[in-house]
Amino acid sequence: MAKIALALKINVSAMDQARLFSGQKGQYLDATVFVDLDQLDQYGNSGMITQDVSKEEKAQGVKGNILGNAKIFWTDTGRMPMQQQQGGYSNQAPQQQAPQQGYQQGYQQAPQQQAPQQQYQQQPQQGGYGNNRG
């Protein structure tokens, strides 16, 4: 199963405060994130966040408030959704100069992100395994 990382932007003013509930460690809100792994919307978002409603309300056609947007900023496969273009979808991102080979149609390669590297001085170890701290 592929993994993705999402950045969420939530408009807390749009929350129906009556739907907040208390839990062991604070106040909670049930919400759902809808994500399109293939295409970005016209604003570069990968999806949206909606506030959940009860099963009974859902059966009556009630929809939860739209609370915000979601953007994919990392995938473990290196494939990112493509930007939607006016008049339809494009298989080539605007900043891309030439098609990249080895990726399925509709994807671009994500920029390689690496964790910051920290330099540590090697301390001589005494004895067996790991650091022996007194």
Mean pLDDT of 25-45: 95
pLDDT-based confidence at 123, cuts 50/70/90? Answer: very low
Residue 84: what pLDDT?
67
Mean pLDDT of 51-60: 96
| More confident site: 31 or 97 | 31
1-26 core/surface letters (b: 16 or more CB in 10 A; e: else): eeebeeeeeeeeeebeeebeeeeeee
Q: How far apart are the first and last CA of the chain?
A: 44
| 82 has pLDDT over 60 | yes
Residue 3: what pLDDT?
92
β partners of residue 68: 10, 49
Q: Which helix (H) or strand (E) holds 57?
A: helix 55-59
pLDDT, tens only, 70-79? 999 999 998 8
Enumerate the domain spans of the chain.
1-79
Mean pLDDT of 108-132: 46
Residue 2: what pLDDT?
85
